[in-house]
Amino acid sequence: MGAKGAVAPRYPITEILVPAPTCQDALDDLPDAEQYDELISSDSVCVGEPTSSLSAYAKEMRCLDSEAWHHGYKRKWDPRLMTASLRTAHTEISRRRFRNTKPAAVEPISRFYKLAASGVSNTLRAGTDSARGAFTSPRPIHYRYDRCVTVREMARLHGFPDWFRFHVTKWHGGRQIGNSVPPPLARAVAVSVREALGVKPASPERTIPLGSPGLLEMDMTEAAAYWSVDVPIAKRDRKSGATKRKQQDIERELARASA
């Protein structure tokens, strides 16, 4: 608001926001996890070189040039390995609902958001801890496949490069991403601080290996013992103990209500 009664002018959103990568830019080059049986029990599989064209964003996530490391240490990693991609066993009922949901809309029963290929992702959240019921935050529905996105696809939407590893479970891997600051946002803030201080950045020459993948398989008790800390899990507050309704029952109730 300016003078009394005046209304600030409205501008098209394209004149305010910097163009951002779309969901398709972020995910289209990743193979469909459901094409690999290995991902039923493992979170990683060798997929080889990309078979589709790469967006500028996908090239950066794959670290295909030196600028993609942004003054950080380069990592020794196998770019042919697709990690953090453990599959989810959806029921056919869920798949049908996902399939019938329009892009950029919310599926009415699960309340999952369906990504739009030409849009951007909704906020990826971490869910609640065990003290508040240990609920997994919903992952969005893929714009092309009748399933929720994988942890690796969440990482792409959040701005994590492909070398970055997460816990092997969907539960902890998704929480790590949901609790994190998106790397592009953190980098933008850091660049502003660096420029304000007049510091000239330098890129390290050394390439460092990734840590032990065994650390990504530990449960909370094992991790606490490894790092010699107390188990950081609060006791769960059990609510009423009501049984969760089945999908078939929910659909029957909705059908009766609309009749």
What separation in angstroms does the CA of 189 have from each of 63, 111, 184, 186? Answer: 21, 33, 9, 5
Q: What is the pLDDT of residue 247?
A: 64
Q: Which of 8-12, 90-94, 254-258 has the highest mean pLDDT?
A: 90-94
Q: Which domain holds residue 200?
A: 17-211
Strand partners, 148: 141
Give me the torsion for CA of 37, 43, 46, 50, rounded to 10°. Answer: 100
Look at the chain and report how many structural domains it folds into.
1
Q: For 151-225, where are the E strands, in sequence order?
A: 207-209
Residue 8 — pLDDT band, cuts 50, 70, 90? Answer: very low
CATH number at residue 56: 3.90.120.10
Task: Pick the more confident residue, 50 or 40.
Answer: 40
- Predicted confidence band at 138 (pLDDT cuts at 50, 70, 90)? confident
SS3 223: helix
Tell me the per-residue pLDDT of 216-255, one tens digit each, with 9 for 90 and over.
999 989 999 999 999 876 554 445 445 556 666 666 665 6
pLDDT band at 2 (very low <50, low <70, confident <90, very high): very low
pTM to 2 decimals? 0.83
Would you say residue 127 lies in a domain? yes
Q: Is 73 domain-assigned?
A: yes
For residue 223, being part of any structural domain is answered with no
**Residue 128 resides in a domain:** yes
